[in-house]
Each structure stands twice: as structure tokens, then as C-alpha cells.
Amino acid sequence: MSTESLHVVVAGAGAAGTLTAARLSDAAARSRRRIVIEVIDPAPGTGRGLAYSTPDPRHLLNVSAGQMSALPHTADDFVRWLSDREGRTADPGAYVARGLFGAYLAHDLDRSTEAGRDYATIRRRHDRVVALDHLPASGDAPAAAGVRLRLRDGGTLDADAVVLALGNLEPATSWLPPGLEESPGFVADPWCPGALAEVPTDRDVLLVGTGLTMCDIARTLLHPDRTVHAVSRHGMLPRPHAATSPTAPTGTARPGGPLGPTAYGIPATEPCDLAALKRAVRYRAARSRRLYGDWRHAIDELRPHIPRLWQQLSFSDQQRFLAAEMREWEVHRHRLPPATAQALTAARRAGLLTVRAAEVVGARTGGGREITVRQSDGRALTVGAVVNCTGTEGRVERLTDPLVRSLLGSGLAAPGPHGLGFDTAPDGRLIGTAGRSTTPVWTLGPLRRGNLWETTAIGEIRVQAGELATRILDRTTRTTRTAPR
């Protein structure tokens, strides 16, 4: 066993960063390899990030507890943690508050830290990485190229490898009409702590976007003295999860049988086109409805195969999907907890929530926080606040984050296909503008969307974190720099 310590920096302490640090510790213990893991993020806590920091108990996980384990091969780990916490057997089919899952991720890291304490040292630094530089190989370790990180506080840090676990970055604002961004009644990011505190309770509110973010924010803002209006180009809401799990008739198989190398009728070795893929998905959804009375099985069975199917599509077919099919897919794939769906349905029936298909085409601010919004359907709406619920910006060239700008400007990273995320190798390593991986920098989660498409949920991120940890340990076993004391 080497006496040198491998030094890995994880930039980001949300779900992706926390899972990465935990799996690095596990991998170090398995390989009996000494490692220093430095997790850098300005947030006060670890594990919560944007997704799991909300204190509102009405903001629920949109996946049941039994599918939210941090460990890919221990499916009931989160349920067992919940059971221990609550002193009773937790329901694996329950949709629990998102804040609980953030606490569980912190527990997972603490558990891995304790189990791997003889080999892994995990440090937490409350700062932000603003730039990376590629360090050339040194004379005493000619194979050991590394990375120098520049921090917001002015300091620098050298590492053998870096993982960018940046999660969801800044919200998309390309839809904004002139003048709205400067209004005191505009909320650019509803997930910022305290962002909704100044929204008046006696004035109507407009939410722009009708996805999962809108559904959560609407639940927070619903009030008997106002109407919450939601608009998007399509006006489509996420479909709800089934309230109960349906069972197939006795003697029937799961729809379509096991999904192997010819998943959805598309051979693994042959390219497919968008039209053929749509036909296959619709066929299987119809078959699932006949067997179960429910289309959801077909969508869920497709999920593990999405990266391969995405990569088999031609570039032009991918573009067509993004332009015309993406939203219909997302409302079926990323679904609402039953309780959230029921609350929104009740609010719409009571006239407290409206949902329309329209775009914001203009805005005029009045006295105080009053905003009159013009919509593409000809309607004008006067509200006390406009809340951006369009989700995070996926096209990296539109981001203002200093680290992202530094990586693109230096050529260490390049935009992924269609500008979505960074271009990455199959193992998640960044591909620079030269078209190759030259720096020991990896990423996971949403920043791999252009290459994988399906990469934003815990189910994918926990697998990527484990694979990435193993890859980093394997690659750097013989090529390390001296870790900082």
C-alpha cells in the first residue's frame, strides 16, 4: 500500500457532491488507499444543496422512499434510516419531505467517513471554487498531472483530481421581457433562502413555468386572499404518480418482458430514429395500460436505457426531440407525488390556482411591487409578484457562474451536445475544446445532460458517484501529489 495520500477536491456539497465524497471514502477503504477528500461549497450544511434544503414540509420527494437509497445495491437504506429516525417501520411507498432526504445524505457521508477513517480524511471548506488551472506533470512524478484550484477568498489549492458536483446552477432567464428583472416584485430564484418572504399575501402572483418547481412554489404561495396564476408555452403540468401500485392480471408478464439488448424494440448495436422510438414507447405504454390499467410501468422500464437510446439518435433527431417532444416526455417521466397533485387539483377547483398555455411577452411596473404582465394569448395580468419557476439553465454558455466561465474560457471544458452541460467522456471526465480529456477533472449529474440526457435524478447520480470514485482511485493509484497538511 502506498504511503502517499491522494488528494481529491469535490466542488459542491449538495446531493451529488455528498454522494461522491462518501463513495470516494468507501473506495479508499476497499482498496486500502489513503485519500484526502476536500469538499468545497459555501453552503452552511452538507447534503442538501438546492433540491433538499427547503424547510417547507409540503415540498415532497417526487420519488417514493423505497427508491431513494444513496447506495445502488442496498435499495432499502433510506427506508431503514427513516424507520430508525421515526421509531417505527417507514412506508417504502411514501413520498416524504425533501428536507429529510438532505439529512439522510449527510448521514450517509458521516457513515462512510467513520467506516473509512483509517484511509480517508474528509474536510469541509465553506468557500467557492472560481477557476481551475491544469498543472503540468512534475519532474519527480512525470505521470502526475494535477489541478490548481482558485478560491473565492483568494486562496489556491492543488489536487490530484477534481470532481465538479455543481448540481443545478442558476435559473433560466432567457424568457424575461425588458424591465422585469429590475422590478422589486420579480423573484429570480424561488429556492434562495427568504426569496418568497416579501411576496404579498393579498395580491395575485404569477408563476412562470409549470413544471415541478412551480408545483412546489404554488403549494407554498396558495392563500385564500389571492390567486396564483401559472403560465408556460405548453401549459402542461407533470403527471401524478399512481396513488397505489397496480398489479398485473394473474399469469401475465411485465409489459414487453425484460429490457435487454433490444429494449423497446431498438437493437443495442443499431442506430434508431425518433419516429421509431416514439412508436415503440407508445406501443409499450398501450400494452402497460391493458395489463395494469396504467402507462407508468412502460416509462419506468425505459429509464435505464435512456442514455443509450439518446446517443443512438442522430443529432438532428435529438434537436427535434428538444424542440417538439421534450416537454411531453418530461411531464410523464418526472411525476408529482399524489398528495401534491391532489392539493393542486383542489386549488384549481377552488379558483385559487390557474394554469394557462402562454408566454410572457411584456411587463410594466407600477407603484411599489405592482407588475402588469402581457401574455402571448392577449391577456394582461396585474400581480404583486412574478416568480421564475422555469428551472435551471441547462446551456452552459448562458451561465454566469465564474467557475463555468473559467472552464469554458480556458478550453478545459467544452459545451456538451446542443450546448447542454459539459462534453464528457463515458466515465464523466471533461472533454476540452481540443476534443480530448487532458485534465483530471470529472463531473456528474446535470452537467452531463447533453451526453446522457437522463442524468439529473438520484437514481443516476448515485451510480455515477460510485463509478467515478472507483475510476479516480484506479487512475491515480501510482500518480499522486502530496496532499496538504
**Same domain, yes or no, for 23 and 158?**
yes
Quote the CA–CA distance of 182 and 438 in Å, as a whole number. Answer: 42
Q: Tell which of 317, 333, 349 closes a domain.
A: 333
* Ordered DSSP codes for 339-403: HHHHHHHHHHHTTSEEEEE--EEEEEE-STT-EEEEETTS-EEEESEEEE-S-B--BGGG---HH
For residues 191-208, give the mean pLDDT. Answer: 93
Mean pLDDT of the chain: 90
Q: Which residue has the cell 448521514?
A: 107
Retrieve residue 472's grid coordinates.
Answer: 479516480
Considering only 43-57, 97-111, 208-222, 244-258, which range has the smallest mean pLDDT? Answer: 244-258
pLDDT reported for residue 136: 78
The pTM score is 0.91
For residues 318-342, give the mean pLDDT. Answer: 96
pLDDT digits (tens, 9 = 90+) for 391-415: 999 999 999 999 999 999 999 999 9
Q: Is residue 90 part of a domain?
A: no
pLDDT reported for residue 384: 95
Confidence of residue 5 (pLDDT cuts 50, 70, 90): confident
pLDDT reported for residue 216: 97
pLDDT digits (tens, 9 = 90+) for 113-122: 999 999 999 9
**Same domain, yes or no, for 219 and 271?**
no
**Same domain, yes or no, for 129 and 157?**
yes
**Same domain, yes or no, for 375 and 399?**
no
For residues 6-31, give the mean pLDDT. Answer: 96
Q: Is residue 197 part of a domain?
A: yes
Q: Is residue 208 part of a domain?
A: yes
The CATH number for 384's domain is 3.50.50.60
The domain in which residue 411 lies consists of 6-59+97-170+394-475
Report the 10 Å Cβ neighbour count for 16. Answer: 31
pLDDT reported for residue 484: 46
pLDDT reported for residue 481: 47
Q: Tell which of 333, 350, 374 closes a domain.
A: 333
Retrieve residue 433's grid coordinates.
Answer: 475544446
Pairing mode, strands 371-375 and 6-11: unpaired
pLDDT digits (tens, 9 = 90+) for 246-279: 555 544 444 444 444 455 566 555 668 999 999 9
Confidence of residue 4 (pLDDT cuts 50, 70, 90): confident
More confident residue, 350 or 141: 350
* Number of separate domains in the chain: 3
